[in-house]
Amino acid sequence: MQALFFLLRPILLASALLACAVAAAPMEPRHGSFIQSFDGPPPALPLRSTHIKYDFEPAHEEFLVHIPANYDGRRDFGLIVFISADNAFADLPRGWDLVLADHNLLFVAPQAAGNDQPVDRRYGLAVLAADEMLTHYRVDPARTFVAGFSGGARIAGDLGFYQSDVFHGTIQDCGADFYRPVHQGHPLAADTPPGDYGLISASPQEVDNARQNVRFALITGTRDFRHGNILDLYDGFTDDGFTAKLFDVPNMPHTYCDAATLARAVSFVDPPSPPAVMLRAATSRPVRSAPTSHPAAVQSEAEKASARDLAMARNYLASNRPDLARPRLQKILQTYPGTPAATAARVLLNKLDGP
């Protein structure tokens, strides 16, 4: 028996090593659409809006997540966070999955975020969804967008003002708001309340950040009862110099847009990046599924401030505004010379200046 054990020992060792290797191998990402909760604490973002609720228990919230089949966790994808008008949103509209795959986008939609929920909760669930997806998946922060339908579209547009450091584009299907009263030049819905429809409170700094860093895609249709309201609000965006585009679909009622319209809106908010050095931004918590060579959290106050300036400079570069990026990068070098952001800023400035 002892002789037999020594004969079999190499085979047993090999089997054990193989089992350990299989156990240690990273799991393939789950694909398709599914409902899930996340673990960990709520977001600890450096920029926090007074309009937004942040103190959630992520494990107590549910999200529809869609992962296209071409996502393998080896490269960054973009992300769309979607806010519905209803509390339950368990399926993608027809054809949207193909658009997500074509544009290399992940998708997440918080549940219990409908029109009957408090607006600060709806805002906060969108921010929480973005933060969790950046933590668990390979997501490019510069390609993180927020979308919604009807009342959810208005929430998405508001987040373009209130959390423009997280969301760099909005896709607003049959709903919109604005920070000031606009001229009413189009026929309005019969239920439009007296006064200024779609008016939100945004500070001058929030307005400026949104103008500089966010692309607004507004979708409506000729049979949408909000058609006139959205046309008026779109005029406000263009009059005030925002990067905005209207998608006015013939015969479309107040409903989810079709896949072709979604693809056009995605192409607007997510244009090809210019040939500049882009750095992966930090999430509020360590990335658990795809470690990178960049710090997952910023510790000191100087690092926090310099990281915010670096993110803003990157946004300017992504918008083909090197004239605005250069002074912010120079500020990082002068004010925060010993931070990781200063090293990155020096690389970007060298890239801008060329050989």
* pLDDT tens, residue by residue, 223-232: 999 999 999 9
Residue 15 banded pLDDT, cuts 50, 70, 90: very low
pLDDT band at 324 (very low <50, low <70, confident <90, very high): low
- The proportion of the chain whose per-residue pLDDT surpasses 90, expressed as a percent, equals 60
Structure tokens at 130: 């973005």
Domain ranges of the chain: 32-269, 301-353
Helix (H) or strand (E) holding 53: none
The rounded distance, in Å, linking the Cα atoms of 292 and 303 is: 18
**Chain CA centroid to CA 314, Å:** 15
Higher pLDDT, 65 or 10: 65
Mean pLDDT of 153-163: 98
Tell me which H or E stretch contains 320: none
Q: Give the pTM.
A: 0.72
Task: Quote the percentage of the chain above a pLDDT of 70.
Answer: 80
pLDDT of residue 302: 79
Q: What is the mean pLDDT of the chain?
A: 84
* Strand segments (E) across 237-347: 243-253
Question: Quick one: average pLDDT of 69-87?
Answer: 95
Residue that wins the pLDDT comparison between 19 and 181: 181
pLDDT bracket for residue 4 (50, 70, 90): very low
Question: How many CA atoms, within 13 angstroms, populate the side-chain half-sphere of residue 268?
Answer: 21
Q: Does domain 32-269 have CATH number 3.10.350.10?
A: no
CA–CA dist 207, 245 (Å, integer): 17
Per-residue confidence at 284, pLDDT binned at 50, 70, 90? low
